[in-house]
Amino acid sequence: MRAESERRVEAAYARLLACTDHELRIAIAAEVILCVFDEFYRQLCEYPYRAKRAFETMDPQASNRISTERLGLYSRFIVEHGPRILAAFPAPTASTCGRRSTGCLSR
């Protein structure tokens, strides 16, 4: 299941990078974000079962490792996907905004 989710995420990124229509790029970006969130949530939902198994087998090292992984999951996704999404949408310039760059939204 994990490989399938990762393929969906990568396919959405590929569509985003290949698209040149601005409005469609926004829709595809929303799809990318949803695919990334679905994968994040899928992984997040695995942790209670893994923690329960570690508790039931009296494995404190696994329990600590699972807790540490769970706490870092959100950060790991932001570090991986935040820059990729930003790279797909370069900062606006005066020529792309159609007005002086001070009128553009800042990053």
Name the residue ranges covered by the structural domains of the chain. Answer: 2-89
Q: How many CB atoms lie within 10 A of CB 9?
A: 20
- pLDDT tens per residue, range 36-48: 999 999 999 999 9
Q: How confident is the model at residue 89 (pLDDT cuts 50, 70, 90)?
A: confident
Is residue 104 left, alpha or beta, with left meaning phi > 0 and alpha meaning psi from -120 to 50?
Answer: beta
| pTM recorded for the entire structure | 0.75
CA-angle at 87, arms to 86 and 89, nearest 5° = 70
